[in-house]
Structure 1
Amino acid sequence: MAEYRRPGVYIQDVGSGARPITGVGTSTAAFLGVAPQADAHLRKPVFVTSWPGFQRRFQGDGQGSTPLSFAVDGFFQNGGARLYVVNLGQDATTISADDLETLSAMEGISLIAAPGFTDADSVEAILTNCETRKDRFAVLDMAEGGAIADLARTQDQGGLRPRNALQGMAAVYAPWIEVRDPETGEMIACPPSGHICGAYAGNDSTRGVHHAPANLPLRGALGLSRLFTDADQDILAPACVNAIRQFSDGIRIWGARTLTGADSEWRYVNIRRLLTLIELSIQQGTRWAVFEPNDDTLWKSIRRDVWEFLNMLWRDGALMGSSTQEAFFVRCDATTMTQDDLDAGRLIIEIGVAPVRPAEFVVIRIMQTTSDSEV
């Protein structure tokens, strides 16, 4: 208690007790592949923030471009800003669990791609890594060529088979895109995953992770290795293959589905990534509660902090509802924990959210009327 010995105005700083939860980053990516200078920084994650920065570290003099270098260039062209690059060396033909282990200590990576590695073993390793960690989303490439029906069947017969336990931690895109080689100036077909990751990152920073990363122009893409029609997409969309389409206003990403299937609650890329953002942010933002007394005082603090975080997301348009009661709920009290939980030191928070889903199918109804009809 302060002592006041003379008349006057006294100022005291009093803490509010609130511990604001901030959203984790969603746009840091990691690419694995073969660099133009195949022996540069071999199997070591290197952080780069620009295309010239990548060139200085991995290009070398007189070295030709690779799928990895095209991906890095496309990432920065489309709005990416933070990227880890792992050069696997010239003998790399597939992605293994050991390759992904090189990124295990890197915090904050939310997107992962291996441009051009489309074999079943590589895809399996990437999917397993994302499913196990639950904090990274994989952007995959389809193999180049093949009939439309073959692309749709890939999930059943190849590396992109359905995985009900995956919970939507990956999406796949086709076809390959045509880009201009920054070294030679020639037009070359390359896998699109790097450009797609850049579009994700740019979309996150300008509109928010809750907006579907679709109907976005793909910068740096000057052509497509094949042109999909509406009829083609009728086959690809149910197979969870996101098409890249050529329209009159340019080349655009024309799909935002994960690999889980049409009947899954994790059907859309933005829903999965938004829930990952919520999960990780609350996990990090409530670490202070570890070893605190598990009583009503703690529960009230947890409810307050989590409520404020979800309220911020709702105000940003990430959650559905005209009121907070419709958009989300937070429970942390005697109803969420049993005496066994309390005895074991478990603090259990129950959270429900109503994410905004994409208007994927816009239906316009037109009715013809006569001049005698009442309007």
Structure 2
Amino acid sequence: MAITVSYPGVYVQELDSGVRVIPGVPTSITAFVGRARRGPTDTPIRVQGLGEFGRRFGELWSEAPMGYSVTHFFVNGGSDAVIVRVHSLSGADDLARADVPADGGTPMTLTAANPGIWGNQLRATITHPDAGDAFHLTIQEVSPSNPLQVVAEERFLNLTLTAGDARFVTDVLLAQSQLSRVETLPSGRPQLTLGVPIPFEDGDDGLPINAGQVSDSNLATPRHGIYALENTDLFNLLCIPPFAPGISPEIDTWDAAAAYCLTRRAMLLVDPDPAWEPATWVGPDAVIAGVDALITRSPNSAIYFPRIRVPDPLKENRLETFAPSGAVAGVIARIDAQRGVWKAPAGQDATLNGVPELTVRLTDGEQGQLNPIGVNCLRTRPIAGRVVWGARTTRGADQLADQWAYLPVRRTALFIEESLFRGTQWVVFEPNDEGLWSQIRLNVGAFMNGLFRRGAFQGTTPAQAYFVKCDRESNPQEDIDRGIVNIIVGFAPLKPAEFVLLSIQQIRPTV
């Protein structure tokens, strides 16, 4: 805005620089979809450590490989995970229940907050603050091995049975309790428990989950299984651990997950088929024959072979075989934090922590047969130990000659796409003219230059490393009339001035 000059002197005016900082999005938030002992079902919950995972979803469980995969993720350097618990009912709802006696005869029925045997460790206690109608409710969770040891406790004061009241018991538990819910309201004030807590009963851990509960397209509405991730803002890697010990996902699940990852700009980490590893290793023929039968090749998926052998705390730390995706996701997260998403998550610094053995000790010649078909190998290397020794997508087979053959190239492109998609939302309601285009070039160019200075691209000068195009040539009049802004970004991931192109469109409302 122009200053009105009314007297001799110095005038100060703060001007908008026109620079809108585009922050880079996270690159290694890892989603896990599978079975757990407790926790909300078909609801993505973000956890940032093993302790938090244990509190929300229970400790390791021999019937649910997801807990092991999450453990391997955090042990290998992961720090941010999104968990989707999938539960397969064996009864009506598998919820533990407790009937609290009440005045008038009809009890108050409480249920555990979510299904599982864990609910059988809950206890309810009622006390009365005065002669009125209000009551206090205490819910305790006790140790399954020692009923006298309380591991969690929630206390709710001055509850009422009046719908709409600020302390209405149903609303209070729904909003504040991690342990319990009200299923049936009583006919009168809940009676004193007289120091003897009322136990919850009949909780059930359900049945092993299956592909239909994880990846069937019918689960998209309402959102269940992998599609529950629609309710989370962002994830970058997706792991689907075996449904149960010895029951691994098959092609339908992997293909549905890969297709979903395409829509979310995320990468799917595919576990090998256990059938590829017979009791006596005779060579990679089974892997070569089985890759295309396991997953349709996608630029947003990567497969790792072989499986890993890790000490199992539930079996006196004897070595047991596990799917590698959780550990690999942790390695990717660690290298992203240390070097950046553009660094290949492979090599001597891509060590698999806590993995003393692999199920197959591959030779150089055997890896030489697997790399050309797009299989990333886990190897045992001198001094370094167990490492990730490959960084290709499933489009990385030599015969495909695909531009998205390499994992760091694809992940860097996804990172730039997501960052620019979020960082250019402001353009939607701006006039679509040269003034806007110059601002876009300035802001996107500043973001790309920051990546160039951090070593994300090849080339010794910005011109060799990247370009940003948003002008009259990229925005013809017909697109302007339709309210479309075209932004073309190129970057050189492998060789200077050999660009991978990204085209981003922002569309403004026409009304």
Hey, what does 1:211 align to over in structure 2?
343
1:323-334 equivalence runs, <5 A: 323-334=461-472
Hey, what does 2:126 align to over in structure 1?
none
Structure 1 pair 10–221 and aligned structure 2 pair: CA distance change class (3 A): farther
Secondary structure of 2:294's match?
coil
Structure 1 pair 63–71 and aligned structure 2 pair: CA distance change class (3 A): closer
Task: Return the structure number with greater relative CO, CA threshold 8 A, min gap 6.
Answer: 1
Hey, what does 2:307 align to over in structure 1?
176
Is residue 278 of structure 2 the alignment partner of residue 278 of structure 1?
A: no
Match 2:272 to one of 117, 138, 142? 142
Deviation at 1:21, TM superposition (A): 1.2
Hey, what does 1:347 align to over in structure 2?
485
Deviation at 1:91, TM superposition (A): 2.7
Is residue 457 of structure 2 the alignment partner of residue 319 of structure 1?
A: yes
* Greater Rg over alpha carbons, structure: 2
Match 1:235 to one of 350, 366, 369? 369
Determine the C-alpha separation between the residues in 2 that align with 1:209 and 1:21: 17
Structure 1 pair 281–102 and aligned structure 2 pair: CA distance change class (3 A): same
Question: What's the TM-score, normalizing by structure 2?
Answer: 0.65
Hey, what does 2:237 align to over in structure 1?
111
- Check conservation: 2:273, 2:294, Cα contact below 8 A: no
Hey, what does 2:288 align to over in structure 1?
152
- Ranges in structure 1 where 5+ consecutive residues have no aligned partner: 358-375
Secondary structure of 1:75's match?
helix
Secondary structure of 2:408's match?
helix
Hey, what does 1:25 align to over in structure 2?
26
Deviation at 1:65, TM superposition (A): 6.2
Hey, what does 1:251 align to over in structure 2?
386
Deviates more, 1:26-35 or 1:139-148: 139-148
Determine the C-alpha separation between the residues in 1 that align with 2:313 and 2:233: 31
- Check conservation: 1:173, 1:242, Cα contact below 8 A: yes
Quick one: which amino acid aligns to residue 209 of structure 1? V
Is residue 227 of structure 2 the alignment partner of residue 101 of structure 1?
A: yes
Determine the C-alpha separation between the residues in 2 that align with 1:57 and 1:346: 45
Is residue 319 of structure 2 the alignment partner of residue 202 of structure 1?
A: no
Quick one: which amino acid aligns to residue 291 of structure 2? Q
Which structure has greater strand proportion? 2
Quick one: which amino acid aligns to residue 29 of structure 1? T
Determine the C-alpha separation between the residues in 1 that align with 2:379 and 2:63: 25
Structure 1 vs Structure 2: percent identity of aligned residues?
Answer: 33
The CA RMSD over aligned residues, in Å, is: 1.9
1:72-111 equivalence runs, <5 A: 72-89=70-87, 90-94=207-211, 95-96=214-215, 97=217, 98=219, 99-111=225-237
Is residue 429 of structure 2 the alignment partner of residue 291 of structure 1?
A: yes
Deviation at 1:205, TM superposition (A): 0.9
Structure 1 pair 298–68 and aligned structure 2 pair: CA distance change class (3 A): same
Structure 1 pair 105–2 and aligned structure 2 pair: CA distance change class (3 A): farther
Determine the C-alpha separation between the residues in 2 that align with 1:251 and 1:151: 20
- Check conservation: 1:134, 1:169, Cα contact below 8 A: no
Deviates more, 1:235-244 or 1:64-73: 64-73
Determine the C-alpha separation between the residues in 1 that align with 2:261 and 2:290: 20
Structure 1 pair 10–342 and aligned structure 2 pair: CA distance change class (3 A): closer
Quick one: which amino acid aligns to residue 224 of structure 1? L
- Check conservation: 1:299, 1:333, Cα contact below 8 A: yes
Deviation at 1:306, TM superposition (A): 0.9
**CA offsets 1:37-85 (integer angstroms, 9 cap, x no match):** 1x5322222211111111122225x943632111111111111111011
Deviation at 1:118, TM superposition (A): 3.3
- Ranges in structure 2 where 5+ consecutive residues have no aligned partner: 88-206, 220-224, 243-247, 277-282, 496-511
Hey, what does 2:51 align to over in structure 1?
52
Question: What's the TM-score, normalizing by structure 1?
Answer: 0.87
Quick one: which amino acid aligns to residue 387 of structure 2? R
Deviation at 1:287, TM superposition (A): 0.9
Quick one: which amino acid aligns to residue 127 of structure 1? A
Determine the C-alpha separation between the residues in 1 that align with 2:11 and 2:475: 44
Quick one: which amino acid aligns to residue 56 of structure 2? R
Deviates more, 1:326-335 or 1:139-148: 139-148
Hey, what does 2:319 align to over in structure 1?
187
Determine the C-alpha separation between the residues in 1 that align with 2:39 and 2:469: 51
- Check conservation: 1:134, 1:276, Cα contact below 8 A: no
**CA offsets 1:140-196 (integer angstroms, 9 cap, x no match):** 10112425111112233x12233xxx3x10100011101111333221110010011
Determine the C-alpha separation between the residues in 2 that align with 1:2 and 1:252: 68
Determine the C-alpha separation between the residues in 2 that align with 1:91 and 1:176: 22
- Check conservation: 1:149, 1:235, Cα contact below 8 A: no
Quick one: which amino acid aligns to residue 72 of structure 2? G
Determine the C-alpha separation between the residues in 1 that align with 2:229 and 2:353: 28
